[in-house]
């Protein structure tokens, strides 16, 4: 009953006019960003973090705004997948497989309706999961010592490769690059200036938000010029405003299956929404594709991956909030936000600042309802926005991110750092090195080092402490199992591709 | 080939980091000190960079073409914008930068200028007046 009481308190936080207004605004902006091709949730949330600062929101309200943007992006990502065959973000790739063919058959409204309901089912299942599992995980996590946290960080870095990486060496290298960048600045324990080249500007290290906006948003703009030649996506006309109710529920059982699978994928550290959508689609295909209709506009082929990616993005909030270890790129960005707001995620967050956690969870329930309303009857607004010209959108987006960063510190130096990270991000993407592990390394590096140093000062310098606790051992064992499964899955996939 | 070069670069950087970190001294009650963790990370980076040197992926598609020129031009505009932001004030520098970017993204001259003006003035009013974040208004030489 504790949980229900806490949730009711959360609703009293979320239902204040300011927070409710922010939730609705966040849902709208999120759907918009998700729908625009190329601008994924990571970019959307990263660019809007400085804006949330600029609005001088309280930490709880800022978190509500950005989480609603996050959920909105996941809903919106499907719109350009279905209408243009261009996924708005990575997790929406699977939705193009059946969504676009269905829209081409003149059933665009039905495809959008099915995917909206599937998104709602997935996100609601995940939010329920968050409500009931997160407090237990937080309770268990209180017993984690420094060595156990160190093990947890090792797990996050070791397993992220299973999903993100084409080449596992490069994915690990990405994480290590992030960790190296994280060590720039004054060492908090001893005051030693590390790798600052004598520049005072670098004493505070790289601000995670400046780095993230650079890595994702600026590099995205550079990538845009290369992609522009290849794509000639014509928007499919919307056949009618509202789909029929019966049609919309055609994929309901598939949504439920997809939600459960997606949620599990989301909770695993380092996995996230893309994996959720991918696994949900493939499982659904094995379960129900008896007549070979998948890939030609099967409703279940739309429902399963949409439910999967939304459930995974909700599930990914669990490790981020309870352990401080994000499960996806976007939750990594949200972690950066929390750190900048001086909120330390982790088990103590649930005890010390319950109004923030439960206000957030309650506002996610509200966001789901708002998003369902926005995405079924009002979807026409968003499809029309797809025809906005890029020459208008892109420059405005760039400028908003520049002012946002400038408004935090009023330091042109930060803007140069952002541009430099943009070039770095572009180079890494060209080399097929995933950016998410870089961000994780940058964000978690300081904590990983602190926990290691704390563990060793407890043991007086004996490295054996790292494997003394049963929790740490269990985490290392789980890491080994996940790595093993990744290798097997990779084998099967290459085997299939070859045959 | 590019993979090998980048791998080599990372190797050189991580060896340098390892050597530089040797100079950082430990404090009391902190057996590890500020040097060990960066060294562990650098060692790991060095090992992984060998993977890129000895097992490189095929080269990514990279030619000097229009897209490349546009990327360079975009970077030039962005750097110029940061340099001019405080000397010229926000509205003027933003109008210029946005108009140039819009042109790079394929807008015709008049439309680019209109986008620039709209963004420069609109964002200034939004941030300065609505959100209450002071931005530099006038060129520095006027006052």
Among positive and negative, which fits the CA dihedral A80, A81, A82, A84? positive
Q: How many CA atoms lie within 13 A of A328 on its CB side?
A: 31
pLDDT at A498: 45
- Least CB-CB distance to A225: which of B71, B102, B111? B71
- Least CB-CB distance to B30: which of A183, A426, A457? A457
Residues of chain A positioned with their CB less than 8 A from the CB of B25: 190, 192
* Burial class of residue B129, CB neighbours in 10 A (0-12, 13-18, 19+): exposed
**Interface touch A432/B25, C-beta < 8 Å:** no
- Minimal C-alpha gap between B142 and chain A (Å): 20
- Minimal C-alpha gap between A200 and chain B (Å): 18
**Interface touch B105/A195, C-beta < 8 Å:** no
Q: How many CA atoms lie within 13 A of A222 on its CB side?
A: 28
Instruction: Report, in angstroms and rounded to the nearest whole number, the Rg of chain A calculated over CA atoms.
Output: 22
* CA–CA distance, A432 with A166 (Å, rounded to integer): 8
- Least CB-CB distance to B133: which of A218, A407, A419? A407
- Least CB-CB distance to A457: which of B2, B31, B57? B31
- Minimal C-alpha gap between A154 and chain B (Å): 12
Instruction: Report, in angstroms and rounded to the nearest whole number, the Rg of chain B calculated over CA atoms.
Output: 24
pLDDT at A52: 80
- Least CB-CB distance to B31: which of A55, A172, A456? A456
Name the average pLDDT for chain B.
85
The residue in chain B having the minimum alpha-carbon distance to the alpha carbon of residue A462 is B31
DSSP string, B86-111: HHH-HHHHHHHHHHHHHHHTT--HHH
- Check pLDDT > 90 for residue B75: yes
pLDDT at A124: 92
Residues of chain A positioned with their CB less than 8 A from the CB of B67: 225-226, 228-229
The residue in chain B having the minimum alpha-carbon distance to the alpha carbon of residue A396 is B119
A185 strand-pairing partners: A194
A194 strand-pairing partners: A185
Which of A196, A219, A399 has the highest number of chain B CBs within 10 A, making it the mutation to test binding with B? A399
Q: So what's the ipTM on this one?
A: 0.91
- Minimal C-alpha gap between B139 and chain A (Å): 16
The residue in chain B having the minimum alpha-carbon distance to the alpha carbon of residue A429 is B60
**Interface touch B102/A415, C-beta < 8 Å:** no
pLDDT at A499: 42
The residue in chain A having the minimum alpha-carbon distance to the alpha carbon of residue B46 is A173
Instruction: Give phi and psi for A218, each to the nearest 5.
Output: -70, -40
**Interface touch B60/A431, C-beta < 8 Å:** yes
DSSP A194: E
- Least CB-CB distance to A54: which of B37, B60, B133? B133
Domain edges within chain B: 2-54, 66-130
Residues of chain A positioned with their CB less than 8 A from the CB of B105: 390-391, 394-395
Residue given tokens 């807008």 in the structure block: B107
**Interface touch A190/B26, C-beta < 8 Å:** yes
A193 strand-pairing partners: A186
Residue given tokens 């020129």 in the structure block: B69
Residues of chain B positioned with their CB less than 8 A from the CB of A189: 27, 30, 34
pLDDT at B133: 73
Residues of chain B positioned with their CB less than 8 A from the CB of A452: 32, 37
**Interface touch B67/A396, C-beta < 8 Å:** no
pLDDT at B80: 95
* CA–CA distance, A352 with A336 (Å, rounded to integer): 20
- Least CB-CB distance to B127: which of A176, A403, A453? A403
Residues of chain B positioned with their CB less than 8 A from the CB of A400: 123
pLDDT at B82: 94
pLDDT at B100: 94
Which of B19, B48, B140 has the highest number of chain A CBs within 10 A, making it the mutation to test binding with A? B48
| 499 residues of chain A, pLDDT tens digit each | 588 888 888 888 888 888 899 989 999 988 888 887 767 777 778 888 877 877 778 888 888 888 888 888 888 888 888 887 777 666 777 888 888 888 888 888 888 888 888 989 999 999 999 998 888 888 888 888 889 888 888 888 877 755 544 677 888 888 899 999 988 888 877 777 888 787 777 877 888 888 888 888 888 888 888 776 544 455 666 666 666 777 777 778 888 888 998 888 888 765 566 777 887 888 888 888 777 788 888 888 888 888 988 898 888 888 888 888 886 777 888 888 888 888 888 888 888 888 888 888 898 899 899 898 888 877 777 877 777 787 888 888 888 888 888 877 788 899 999 999 999 999 998 888 888 888 888 888 888 888 888 888 888 878 888 888 888 898 899 888 877 877 776 666 655 544 4
Residues of chain A positioned with their CB less than 8 A from the CB of B27: 189-190
The residue in chain A having the minimum alpha-carbon distance to the alpha carbon of residue B64 is A226
pLDDT at A8: 85
3-state SS, residue A142: coil
* CA–CA distance, A480 with A226 (Å, rounded to integer): 39
State pLDDT tens for residues B26-53.
666 677 778 888 899 999 999 999 988 8
Report yes or no: A418 and A218 within 8 Å, Cβ to Cβ: yes
- Minimal C-alpha gap between B106 and chain A (Å): 6
- Check pLDDT > 70 for residue B91: yes
Token output for A383 = 């499809």
**Interface touch B48/A173, C-beta < 8 Å:** yes
């Amino acid at each position: 009953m504790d949980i229900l009481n806490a949730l009711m308190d959360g609703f009293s936080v979320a239902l204040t006019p300011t927070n409710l207004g922010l939730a609705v605004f966040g849902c709208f902006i999120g759907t918009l960003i998700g729908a625009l091709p190329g601008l994924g949730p990571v970019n959307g949330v990263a660019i809007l973090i400085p804006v949330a600062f600029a609005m001088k929101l309280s930490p709880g309200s800022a978190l509500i705004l950005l989480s609603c943007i996050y959920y909105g992006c996941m809903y919106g990502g499907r719109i350009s997948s279905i209408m243009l065959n261009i996924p708005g973000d990575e997790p929406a790739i699977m939705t193009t497989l059946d969504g676009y063919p269905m829209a081409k058959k003149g059933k665009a409204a039905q495809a959008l309706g099915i995917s909206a309901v599937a998104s709602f089912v997935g996100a609601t299942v995940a939010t329920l999961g968050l409500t009931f599992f997160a407090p237990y995980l937080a309770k268990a996590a209180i017993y984690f010592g420094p060595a156990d946290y160190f093990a947890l960080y090792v797990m996050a870095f070791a397993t992220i490769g299973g999903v993100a990486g084409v080449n596992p060496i490069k994915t690990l290298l990405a994480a290590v690059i992030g960790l190296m960048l994280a060590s720039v600045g004054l060492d908090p324990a001893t005051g030693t200036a590390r790798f600052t080249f004598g520049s005072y500007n670098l004493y505070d290290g790289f601000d995670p938000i400046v780095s993230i906006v650079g890595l994702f948003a600026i590099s995205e703009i550079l990538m845009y010029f290369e992609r522009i030649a290849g794509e000639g996506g014509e928007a499919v006309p919307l056949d009618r405003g509202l789909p029929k109710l019966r049609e919309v529920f055609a994929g309901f059982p598939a949504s439920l299956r997809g939600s459960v699978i997606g949620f599990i994928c989301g909770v695993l550290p380092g996995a996230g929404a893309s994996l959720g959508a991918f696994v949900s689609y493939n499982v659904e295909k094995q379960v129900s594709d008896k007549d070979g209709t998948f890939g030609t506009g099967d409703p279940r082929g739309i429902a399963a991956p949409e439910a999967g990616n939304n459930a995974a993005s909700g599930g990914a909030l669990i490790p981020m909030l309870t352990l401080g270890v994000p499960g996806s790129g976007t939750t990594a960005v949200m972690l950066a936000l929390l750190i900048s707001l001086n909120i330390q995620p982790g088990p103590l967050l649930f005890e010390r600042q319950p109004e923030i956690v439960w206000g957030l969870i309650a506002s996610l329930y509200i966001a789901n309802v708002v998003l369902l309303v926005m995405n079924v009857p009002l979807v026409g607004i968003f499809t029309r926005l797809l025809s906005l010209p890029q020459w208008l959108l892109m420059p405005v987006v760039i400028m908003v991110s520049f002012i946002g960063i400038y408004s935090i510190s009023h330091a042109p130096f930060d803007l140069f750092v952002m541009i430099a990270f943009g070039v770095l991000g572009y180079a890494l993407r060209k080399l097929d090195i995933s950016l998410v592990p870089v961000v994780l390394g940058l964000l978690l590096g300081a904590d990983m080092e602190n926990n290691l140093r704390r563990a060793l000062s407890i043991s007086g310098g004996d490295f054996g402490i790292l494997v003394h606790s049963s929790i740490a051992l269990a985490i290392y064992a789980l890491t080994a199992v996940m790595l093993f499964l990744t290798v097997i899955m990779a084998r099967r996939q290459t085997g299939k591709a070859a045959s | 080939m590019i993979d090998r070069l980048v791998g080599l670069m990372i190797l050189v950087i991580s060896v340098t980091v390892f050597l530089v970190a040797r100079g950082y001294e430990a404090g009391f009650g902190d057996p590890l000190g500020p040097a060990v963790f960066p060294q562990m990370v650098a060692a790991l980076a060095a090992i992984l960079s060998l993977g890129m040197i000895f097992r490189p992926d095929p080269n990514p598609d990279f030619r000097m073409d229009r897209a490349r020129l546009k990327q360079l031009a975009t970077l030039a505009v962005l750097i110029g914008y940061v340099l001019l932001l405080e000397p010229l004030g926000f509205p003027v520098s933003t109008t210029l930068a946005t108009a140039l970017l819009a042109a790079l993204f394929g807008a015709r001259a008049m439309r680019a200028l209109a986008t620039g003006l709209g963004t420069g003035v609109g964002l200034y009013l939004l941030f300065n007046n609505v959100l209450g974040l002071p931005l530099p208004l006038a060129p520095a030489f006027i006052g």
